[in-house]
Amino acid sequence: MNVLNAVFPTPEQFQSFFGAPEDGPFVMVNLLKFKEKAEYEDGSEPDLPGREAYNRYGVEVAKLVTALGGKIRYSGAVTGLMIGEIEEPWDAVALAEYPSLAAFQKMALSPEMHAIEHHRKAGLAGQLNIRTKPGPGF
């Protein structure tokens, strides 16, 4: 298994993800890796930890998720690995529930998201976003 963290989707990933059929609510699993120090494009706050820059984004994006009818289900630090091997663990995991693919796309492309995206970009070294559907009984 080859794992490649990225900050933004490729055009092909974007088209494939948002071109999928609408099938109702889903939970996005976010595996996050932070930069040691934030890297704002304007050079501001060079001593700010990447995690703190991303947390600024996280506080605001949680408001956007809630406003569209979604929920942040979980957010926490990665503290260990029990099974498997990876070169380097992710720093944090977040689970966000969205009411629909259309709602997620509307949020992702909104001016409000654009206004906070610089914090995400400054603090994030890479991530995996995994769309999931609940199994039977959940």
pLDDT for res 79: 96
Helix H or strand E encompassing 94: strand 92-98
Domains and CATH numbers, the chain: 35-80+89-132 (3.30.70.100)
Q: Please say whether the beta carbons of 117 and 60 come within 8 A.
A: no
Model pTM score: 0.90
Segments in the chain below pLDDT 70: 1
- Picking from 8, 14, 7, 58, the residue whose alpha carbon sits closest to that of residue 33 is 7
Name 109's Cβ contacts closer than 8 Å, sequence gap at least 6.
none
pLDDT for res 115: 98
pLDDT for res 82: 94
Amino acid at 111: P
